Chain A
Amino acid sequence: MSDRVIDVEGVSKSFGAKRVVDKLSLQVQRGEIFGFLGPNGSGKTTSIRMLCGLLTPDEGQGTCLGYDIRTQSAAIKSEVGYMTQRFSFYEDLSIRENLEFVASIYQLVNTREAVDAALQNLGLQDRQRQLAGALSGGWKQRMALAACLLHRPKLLLLDEPTAGVDPKARRDFWAELHRLAAEGITVLVSTHYMDEAERCTRLAYIAYGKLLVQGTPEELVAGSGLSNWTVTGNGLAELQNELAHTAAAEQVVPFGSSLHVSGTDGAALEHALQPYFARSGIRWERGDVRLEDVFIHLMRDTADAPP
């Protein structure tokens, strides 16, 4: 097997007349934490389902873990851990019962040992008798991850795993993902959270079923061509209203006690902001372009031109 854990070319899927994924090409290397970003309904879930053999693509081909995604979905399923967007374990079973069920489905040799180890790894021993339905979002997500890891998959496909989970639990979750990646497990994770995107080793941005960009976070920031100014001081709300009519200031976003102004044409932006630089009570500074700016920018570009 090559180092390309996922390697698909021109994969498409339609539901009825709607083309949900359009000629997606994606390469993911072993040990990466690959972030999959895009607005709601952009085709992230459908793409992930095609990668793990749940859906058959209409066209295109590729491999996942070296298996053909069209013909070898059974082999893929046994080596991939897929965590669905919605909690998809049994709420009327306890944590332990759920894990034991999953372990038996994967025909693990020593179910009890495997479940014990999984409970231990994710700190679930004390709660193993609790019904899954009684757990909070963070614990549910932990349990789901434990279940996905039971059969020691080589690839984890996580579909918005941290939606509705508190920041502390999210941080722990990501620490766990990095630990897994260090062990050589490849992770593909879709998310809406920018702080999570920044923790990925590589990212892809998908909108309306089309993959728009992919690269490391630094590459994406550099490739966006955006410039950014940060303003702090008084009267920022009025300033925001005034800047709303300035074409070069494509994004004007309040951020705590500051205002972030960014645009693709750096020179034009600077020129347009010139009149405000001298205004009293506020301070202008060149800022760093953040991933969020890049994605909002991408989203706006595509939103204007739906397929």
Chain B
Amino acid sequence: MNGFSWRRLRAMVRKEFVQVSRDRLTFAMMIGVPMIQLALFGFAINSDPKHLPTAVLGAEQTEFTRSLVAAVRASGYFDIRATPASADEAFELLHRGDVQFVIAIPPDFSQRLVRGETPAVLLEADASDPAATGNAVAALSVLTSGALRHDLKGVLAPQQAAAPFEWRIHRRYNPDGITQYNIVPGLMGVILTMTMIMMTALAMTRELERGTMENLLAMPLRPAEIMIGKILPYVLVGYVQVAVTLLGGHFIFGVPMVGSLWLLLACVLVFIVANLTVGITFSSLARNQTQAMQMSFFFFLPSILLSGFMFPYRGMPVWAQWLGELLPLTHFLRLVRGILLKGYGAGEAWPHLWPLLLFIIVVMTVGLQRFRRTLD
């Protein structure tokens, strides 16, 4: 009677299975999460990103520069997307994040090469994410001796084994390639995403689950008052989190603060609201707190993997980049890294800000409609 009973164990196991299968969302999550993980990890994530957008700034068009560019392209790491006319234009591209690299070939490159003077080619890299640029830079460094082998023949052939030209590499925005410079601002977005969505999703479902929602609705409260009243405290919580991450990042890891703090705080507000609308929408879909948790997790997973937080955004295939574009975190990461490391102003922030605003409008419309329906 008191020993271990297989029958009792079986009854317990069966009961558990029946309960799980009744909760459709949990069931879907159990099947869906591994499938999505597989798709994301398997196909989308690539910690050795290739085909990074590159601008070539070169005054002259000679067989040497053509060979050089061809060799750079052949490495597989660089996609020449632009040939800006001036240095200013080139650096503007880099600053906005349109390109990851600028290769600047000096005007007298061919001449000095022929004279055997070992000219320097400048590589400006946007090193705000060291993981995205590291391999590309390494690939470039070994490329010197072979690149011009076919062009430098006969008398032009290098006397010694020395390389005919050299690379001068500038890592912009994060010269020492410190990972924390990239991770800490990113963490701010990740932490906000996680807590804001989960908190609001839970806060509303908690009212429903505990039956207190009915009481709220029976009192002369308007839906907007309930919703805003539930959201506002979490906006404050979000700002506290931002303060903690910023101060910690600055004083412990020495993360620079190049841009305007006020602009950053304004962008944070937009991002917080974007996440809260997601949370509210989840809370109107979920029937209990467990489901709300699961939905938050379901949203959180791609946010971390596809936004460029954990793995270089440019390393992902195009379809995954499109998915990433749909996530608020992707845009926020560009904003916060841009402001902190590159010193973005309002004008440079705007291209990454409006997608967040659009996101808010779309999700809010859907969420409010769902929310109204649950009330009746």
Which residues of A line the B interface, CB within 8 A?
Answer: 52, 54-56, 74, 77-78, 80, 82, 84, 86-91, 102, 105-106
Chain A residues, CB < 8 A from B219: 77, 102, 105-106
Q: Which chain B residues border A77 with CB–CB below 8 Å?
A: 218-220
Residues of B that sit less than 8 Å from A by CB: 210-215, 217-221, 376
A–B pairs, 10, beta carbons within 8 Å = A54-B214, A54-B218, A56-B376, A77-B218, A82-B218, A84-B214, A88-B215, A89-B215, A91-B210, A102-B219
CA–CA, A52 and B122, complex, Å: 76
Q: Given that A86-B211, A91-B210 are contacting pairs, would A55 and B376 also be in contact in the complex, using a CB cutoff of 8 Å? A: yes
Q: Complex formed: what's the CA distance from A74 to B219 in Å?
A: 9
Question: How many angstroms between the C-alpha atoms of A105 and B218 in the bound complex?
Answer: 11
Chain A neighbourhood of B214, CB < 8 A: 54, 84, 86, 88
Nearest residue (CB) in B for A105 is: B219
Q: Which residues of B contact A82 (CB under 8 A)?
A: 215, 218
Which residue of B is nearest A53, CB measured? B218
- In the complex the two chains form, what is the Cα distance from A106 to B225 in whole Å? 13
4 new A-B contacts at CB < 8 Å, known A82-B215, A88-B215: A52-B218, A54-B218, A82-B218, A105-B220
Is A84 a contact of B376 with CB atoms below 8 Å?
no
Tell me which residues across on chain B come within 8 A of A88, comparing CB atoms.
210-215
Q: Which residues of A contact B376 (CB under 8 A)?
A: 55-56
Bound CA–CA A90/B212 (angstroms): 7
Contact of B220 with A106 in the complex, beta carbons under 8 Å: yes
Q: Is the CB of A89 within 8 A of B218?
A: no
Shortest B268–chain A CB gap in Å is 29
B38 to chain A, nearest CB (A): 38
Closest Cβ–Cβ distance, residue B71 to chain A (whole Å): 67
Measured between beta carbons, the chain A residues less than 8 angstroms from B220 are: 74, 77-78, 105-106
Count chain A CB atoms within 10 A of each CB in B211, B213, B218, B376 and give the residue with the most.
Answer: B218
In the bound complex, what is the Cα–Cα distance between A163 and B87 (angstroms)?
Answer: 80
Contacts of B212 in A (CB 8 A): 88-90
A80, A88, A91, A102 pick with most chain B CB within 10 angstroms:
A88
**In the complex, A77 Cα to B376 Cα: how many Å?**
15
List of A residues within 8 angstroms of B211 by Cβ: 84, 86-88
Q: Are A84 and B210 within 8 A (Cβ)?
A: no
Chain B: CB-nearest residue to A55: B376
Shortest beta-carbon distance, B222 to chain A, in Å?
A: 8
Residues of B within 8 A of A87 (CB): 211
Closest to A85 in B: B211
For residue A75, which residue of chain B has the nearest CB? B220
Min CB gap B314→A, angstroms: 47
Residues of A within 8 A of B217 (CB): 54
A52 to B214, CA, bound (A): 11
Q: Name the A residues within 8 Å of B215 (CB-CB).
A: 82, 84, 88-89
Contacts of B221 in A (CB 8 A): 105
Cβ distance A56 to chain B, nearest Cβ, rounded Å: 7
Most buried by A among B210, B214, B219, B376: B219
Among B210, B220, B221, B376, find the residue whose CB has the most chain A CB atoms closer than 10 A.
B220
A105: chain B residues at CB < 8 Å are: 219-221
| Nearest chain A residue, comparing its CB with the CB of B221 | A105
Q: Which 8 A-B pairs have the closest CB atoms?
A: A88-B215, A82-B218, A86-B211, A78-B220, A88-B211, A77-B220, A105-B219, A88-B212
- Chain B residues lying within 8 Å of A54, measured Cβ to Cβ, are 214, 217-218
Question: In whole Å, how far is B233's beta carbon from the nearest beta carbon of chain A?
Answer: 14
Output the nearest chain A residue to B215 by Cβ-Cβ distance.
A88
Smallest Cβ distance from A114 to chain B, in angstroms?
Answer: 15
Chain B proximity of A49: nearest CB distance (Å): 8
Task: Write out the residue numbers on chain B whose beta carbons fall within 8 Å of the beta carbon of A52.
Answer: 218
**A55 to B218 Cα, complex, angstroms:** 10
Q: How far is the CA of A203 from the CA of B219 in the complex (A)?
A: 26
Chain B residues with Cβ below 8 Å from A74 are 220
Within the complex, what minimum Cβ distance (angstroms) separates B203 from chain A?
Answer: 12
Query: Which chain B residue lies CB-closest to A133?
Result: B210
B44 to chain A, nearest CB (A): 41
- Tell me, in angstroms, the Cα distance from A54 to B214 when the chains sit together: 8
Q: How close is A85's CB to chain B, nearest CB, in angstroms?
A: 8
CB of A15, distance to nearest CB on chain B (Å): 11
- The complex places the Cα of A86 from the Cα of B221 at a distance, in Å, of 20
Nearest chain-A residue to B375 (Cβ)? A54
Complex contacts, B218 vs chain A, CB 8 Å: 52, 54, 77, 80, 82, 84
User: Whole-angstrom distance from the CB of B216 to the nearest CB of chain A?
Assistant: 8
Q: How distant is the Cα of A151 from the Cα of B217 in the complex, in angstroms?
A: 16
What residue of chain A has the Cβ atom nearest to residue B219's Cβ?
A105
**A157 to B212, alpha carbons, bound, how many Å?**
16
> How far does the alpha carbon of A55 sit from the alpha carbon of B210 in the complex, in Å?
19
Once the chains are docked, how many angstroms separate the CA of A176 from the CA of B280?
A: 41
